[in-house]
Amino acid sequence: LIQLSVPLNFIGFVYREIRQGLTDIEQMFDLLEVEAEVVDKPDAKPLAIQQGSIAFKDVHFAYDPERQILKGVSFEVPAGKTVAIVGPSGAGKSTISRLLYRFYDVQQGSVTIDGQDVRDITQKSLRAAIGMVPQDTVLFNDSIAYNIRYGRLGATDDEMMAAADIAQIGHFIRNLPDGFGTMVGERGLKLSGGEKQRVAIARTILKAPPILILDEATSALDTTTEQEIQAALDVVSKNRTTLVIAHRLSTVINADEIIVLRHGEIAERGTHAGLLAQNGLYASMWNRQREATQAEEHLRQVRESD
């Protein structure tokens, strides 16, 4: 009986884990060992991280051969700097983050970290070096404390709470009936998009990776929430090599370089001020977005005064 119940328990465990794992792409890849697109080379070595500089060199990529998504993209993120990728929907922005995380391999060109091609290193070491704050964080059905601690399971309570404070979510959590013990996820307390994103930021602060990918939410957040999240992101990306996939432009103003992607090619690049002065695609995106934000704010004020 004991012999039988162990595997059954294990299957139950695996089943639950898989269900939860589907909510978190990193864990999904760990547990199911999905070998969909990429495998470690037999002689793959762990990434020897120095400062964590990133280089894309003449990267070509297509999900299916008929449709090229990236057509010769080259850029660098020097160690400790922030580069933002902006551009119209479908331009290939998120694809760049997936190639850095090596969910897929490039068809031509290379992606390197500190001079090491991501195809030559172990995926485990690659993903340990990168913190990803995704567009939409789906939380585990567990306490909010566990959801934050997932960034580094060995973290103490103090470290976990400090991370929550830095991510500007600590105050909110302490005011919940069960504080950090509050159950969240599908069966627990539902958090808003902005709250979930701050939990993801707290998790990343605990993980303290040398490289960060911020894939910003597409969904509109109100201005206050956006400012709080921006403040949290500024803290976490300080002195870390950071790649921001930006769907809104308000978050990229301070980036060291902004890359404007269009149809899989770099159309413009520069700083916020430099790009505005060029009066090209970035400038027109910026003006359009500013008008949209102003209209939204106006609508909100009208609604609130009703």
The amino acid at residue 296 is E
Among 47, 59, 91, 164, which residue sits at the site for ligand ATP (rule: CB under 6 A)?
91
Q: Which is nearer to ligand ATP, 47 or 243 (CB)?
A: 243
Q: Which is nearer to ligand ATP, 12 or 90 (CB)?
A: 90
Phi, psi of 45 (to 5 degrees): -110, 155
**Window 66-85: contact mask with ligand ATP (x via CB under 6 A):** ---x----------------
Stretch that binds ligand ATP, among 76-84, 90-98, 186-194, 251-259 (CB under 6 A): 90-98
Half-sphere CA count of 13, side-chain side, radius 13 A: 7
94 binds ligand ATP (CB under 6 A): yes
How far is it, in rounded angstroms, from Cα 201 to Cα 214? 9
- We find the least distance from the C-beta atom of residue 87 to ligand ATP, in angstroms, to be 6
Among 63, 222, 284, 295, which residue sits at the site for ligand ATP (rule: CB under 6 A)?
63
10 binds ligand ATP (CB under 6 A): no
52 CB contacts (<8 Å, ≥6 apart)? Answer: 79, 80, 113, 114, 129, 210, 211, 240, 241
93 binds ligand ATP (CB under 6 A): yes
89 binds ligand ATP (CB under 6 A): yes
* Span 241-280, contacts to ligand ATP by CB under 6 A: 247
Stretch that binds ligand ATP, among 72-80, 93-101, 187-195, 282-290 (CB under 6 A): 93-101
Among 7, 90, 181, 274, which residue sits at the site for ligand ATP (rule: CB under 6 A)?
90
For 17-22, which contacts have Cβ atoms below 8 Å and span 24 or more sequence positions?
20/140, 20/141
* Span 219-248, contacts to ligand ATP by CB under 6 A: 247
Q: Which is nearer to ligand ATP, 91 or 169 (CB)?
A: 91
12 binds ligand ATP (CB under 6 A): no
Residues that bind ligand ATP (CB under 6 A): 63, 69, 87, 89-95, 218, 247
